[in-house]
A = this chain, B = another copy of it.
Amino acid sequence: MYSIGDLSRRTGVKIPTIRYYEQMGLLEAPERSEGNQRRYEKRELERLAFIRHARDLGLSIEAIRDLLALSRHPERPCGEADRIATEHLASVREKIARLRKLESELERIVACHGDHTIGDCYVIRALADHSMCGTDH
């Protein structure tokens, strides 16, 4: 039996976050001690580690909820789980592409620095005028 603090230490998930996951339906409401404190089993420790890992990989709470629901039916085909992961990969790639555009614009913007005043600062001028940009972003 683990207290919420034990779970927190073992998974690196902060205590209020564990309670938040319970509220969001990722963790089931655990048993309680006589004094109403949460008491977890090993199963729930593993489940929390799964959640933590999925969050670290950027999956949304909703996606994780779906994956957890799927994992309760080991005999079913896993197309849906694969789809969730594939879609997430696509969204990560989109984010990277968007950020790379920003990166290249920002590189251009900060390239010109030295001794000058706000009045002729390229940073300020470039921000004022998108037509100086090489991409839309």
**In the bound complex, do residue A124 and residue B71 qualify as a contact, i.e. CB atoms below 8 Å apart?**
yes
- Stretch from A1-9, A20-28, A32-40, A108-116 contacting the other chain: A108-116
Complex-state Cα separation, A75 to B120, whole angstroms: 9
- Determine which of B53, B76, B106 lies in contact with A57 in the assembled complex, contact meaning CB atoms within 8 Å: B106
Interface flag for A58 (CB, 8 Å): yes
**Residues of A at under 8 Å CB distance from B?**
46, 49-50, 53-54, 56-58, 67, 70-71, 73-78, 81-82, 84-86, 88-89, 92-93, 95-96, 99-100, 102-103, 105-107, 109-110, 113, 115-119, 121, 123-124, 127-130, 137
B57/A137 in contact, CB under 8 A:
yes
Q: Is the CB of B117 within 8 A of A77?
A: yes
Complex Cα distance A46/B78, Å? 53
Interface of A is mostly: helix
Q: Is the CB of B116 within 8 A of A77?
A: yes
Q: How far is the CA of A71 from the CA of B102 in the complex (A)?
A: 22
* Bound CA–CA A131/B110 (angstroms): 40
* CB–CB B89/A124 < 8 A: no
- Flag if B85 contacts A109 (CB, 8 Å): yes
A92 CB contacts on chain B under 8 angstroms: 99, 102-103, 106
